[in-house]
Amino acid sequence: MKKILLIALAVLLCLSLCVPSSAAIYEAAAKELNDAGIIEGTGDSLELDRAPNRAETAAMVVRLYGAEEEAKADFAAGKITHPFTDVPEWADPYVAWLFSKELTRGISDTEFGSANLCSGHDYSVFMLRALGYKDGVDFDYFDAGNYAEELGFYSTFLFDGEFLRDDMTAVTRQALVTDMKESDKTLIENLAESGAVTEDAAKELLDKSAAAKELQELMGSEITAIDTDIKADMTMKDGDQASAFTMKGSLKLIMPDENDIMTVSLASLLSIAMDEESMDFGVWLKEGWIYLSTEAEGETLQLKMDISFITELMKEVEQTGSMFSIPQELSMTLFDSIEKTGSGDNVVYTCTMTGETIMGLISKLLGESMSEMLNGYDIGDITVAYTFVGGELKSVEESFSMSATAYDENGEEYVYSVDCSVSLAVNAVNNGVSIEFPDFSEYIDFTALLENVVSELDTEMPGTALI
């Protein structure tokens, strides 16, 4: 079972090209914020695995306004105050500054609720205000999470539940690289220019933010069709035995309307080989039907399925929440580093993510009960390089390693491992892409069969059909 899941996880990471427990997910981002003086901890710990209270949140928000020194000086001089009796002494300047600016209210006339936990929704409101947006004018207070998600620095799926200091770090980190209202300057650029944070202290954050912003803009170019070549190499070790897996082929995708899968056309031809065995695999999507063809050892299997069945499943998945609920911009927070090399028309952006970050995110996406399946698994650091020529994406290269610890019938420990590299070369985009489909007249319709299988699985184990 572990070997199968390990390979499944490896293939998932390969195909995604990285376009994401109680362990902190965003430690790299937390270190950047700590170096810039935006987030603080106690002693040597940033305490990312506990929930933030309202007093801590007040301090963070004041720093994001670039007003920490002003707040301390004005409070000491008696220029600002607050009416609350439950605010710890260290937080008095922050709460007083926010209260004086009418940026926060207490839970009553005399209580701020300092020890109360801050929710993801409440924090998204603070971040929107720090970016210059006003509730009641630019957004509705009760819909703040969705508005923040539209701006790209929040995920209602990830953060509307339990909200930890780790999550607060992720939201803050992404809000810092979000443009201020009606401005082309990001929040961190605004803080640096105002002197609220020094450029030296925030250099790593500023450099990474600049590269991330450039990459986001390049990746956000309007692409409705793409023609690529794909190659993946995996070396799998099962104890002392090693196996080689290779996959190569092509993928063409034409997507006139990303919100209507019935308009999408796709053609993918892959050759898969493992040791001395091989298989040719083809997938096509045309006019609402999926066509599958496999050929191995001289035998061919050709099937087709009505796409409406898949779309209904996807609607259920979207209602329960999934990876697709994460804004593309937020994924930049996951990168431990983003480095830009080259100049002019030839530029490469190399992004790295720690294995701990990926495992933490996968665990959060799966939920507490299902994430227990990942006990004993480990993912090494992941590196992804995006190459652009003349402003167009030309290639993506990814490498990573994975391992799983298991035990044989005698209780002896042994390790499965996978080392993987995958590359994608872009041949053409948009008008340069065309698809020639084969003859599908002899393909067997298996829509009803698959519907029955999924229905039986969902009856025996509710939710299985959505996995």
* Lowest-pLDDT choice from 74-78, 101-105, 243-247: 101-105
pLDDT at 203: 78
How confident is residue 37, by pLDDT bands cut at 50, 70 and 90? confident
- What H or E segment, with its residue span, contains residue 407? strand 392-407
pTM of the model as a whole? 0.71
Q: What angle do CA 278, 282, 286 make, to 5 degrees?
A: 175
Give the start-end residues of each E strand in 34-158. Answer: none
What is the residue whose two structure tokens read 């996995």?
467
Query: Would you state the structure tokens that stand for residue 331, as one six-digit string?
Result: 């994924």
Q: Which residues contact 452 (CB under 8 A, 6 or more apart)?
A: none
Alpha-carbon distance 153 to 130, whole Å? 13
Please identify which residue in the block is written with the tokens 């700590």.
Answer: 34
What would the pLDDT profile of 121-176 be if each residue is shown by its tens digit?
Answer: 999 999 999 999 998 999 999 999 999 988 988 888 778 778 999 889 889 988 88
Mean pLDDT of the chain: 81
8 A C-beta contact, residue 174 and residue 155 = no
Q: Phi first, then psi: what are they for 249, rounded to 5°?
A: 165, -155
- The answer for residues whose C-beta is within 8 angstroms of residue 259's C-beta and 6 or more apart is none
d(CA 114, CA 112) in angstroms, rounded, equals 5
User: CA 252, 256, 257: angle at the middle one, nearest 5?
Assistant: 120
pLDDT at 382 (0 to 100)? 87
Domain layout of the chain by residue ranges: 2-18+223-466, 27-219
Taking every pair of C-alpha atoms in the chain, what is the biggest distance, in angstroms? 86
342: left (phi over 0), alpha (psi -120 to 50) or beta: left
- Specify the amino acid at residue 35: D
Coil, helix or strand for 401?
strand
* Residues 132, 182: Cα–Cα separation, whole Å: 9
* 375: number of Cβ within 10 Å: 10
C-beta separation of 359 from 376 below 8 A: no
> pLDDT by residue (tens digit) across 313-365?
555 444 444 333 444 555 556 777 888 999 888 999 998 888 777 777 777 66
Give the model's confidence band at 182: pLDDT under 50 very low, under 70 low, under 90 confident, else very high: very high
Spell out a b/e string for 192-227, using b for 16 or more CB atoms within 10 Å of the CB, else e. Answer: beeebbeeeebeebbebbbbbbebeeebeeeeebbb
Q: Which helix (H) or strand (E) holds 192?
A: helix 187-194
Beta bridge partners of 111: none
Cβ 48 vs Cβ 27: under 8 Å? yes
